[in-house]
Structure 1
Amino acid sequence: MPVKRFDVGSWLDSPLSRRRLDLTQFATEREAVVEICSRVLAEGDEALRELGRRFDGWAPAPGESFEVPQRELAAAAGRLAPADRSALEFAAGRIRD
């Protein structure tokens, strides 16, 4: 994978460098993440099922696997626009590395 270069000089000249990031804007999101993680730690798969229904509109029945069958993954990947698939593959590669 080619090394990405970052030109600090041009970034310092950009309007983005003059903006301060307001971390307080993420307080609500942080609270939500802490709540989700706490529930999963305390309740395990049942919390995952309820959260799946809440956020995704689907969850496996008790006793069923959370794993999506390979054929469904392949079918979904085939429906992606090439640019979207490339972006997802890039992101997945960064997670694995």
Structure 2
Amino acid sequence: MAIRRNRNRRRLMIGIVVMVIIGLISFTVINIISLKKEQHDMKEQKQELQDEKEQLEKELEQANDLKNLEEQARDQLRLIKPGETIYIFPDDITKPDKDAEDTEE
């Protein structure tokens, strides 16, 4: 009887140890997968930020261009050169009509 108890206890202890090891391995694998996914997301975010940086650098280069400055002054501030006349049209006349475009197609 004592031998059976010892065997049962030994089997129970081995089972518990195996379950703990399986649990630790599972936790580690899940953690590794999670970190890989986060790494992938960070690489995508880094690429998006690099693209945005390049775009902003291009805009910065254009900001110092005299032609660009003149265009911005004319469009946004409605500035004109001496001797020029500015004509301002209502927005509904200058915007393309969606219904007209649909009928042309």
- TM-score normalized with structure 1 length: 0.30
Higher relative contact order (CA 8 A, sep 6+): 1
Which of 1 and 2 has greater Rg?
Answer: 2
**Of Structure 1 and Structure 2, which has the larger fraction of its residues in helix?**
2
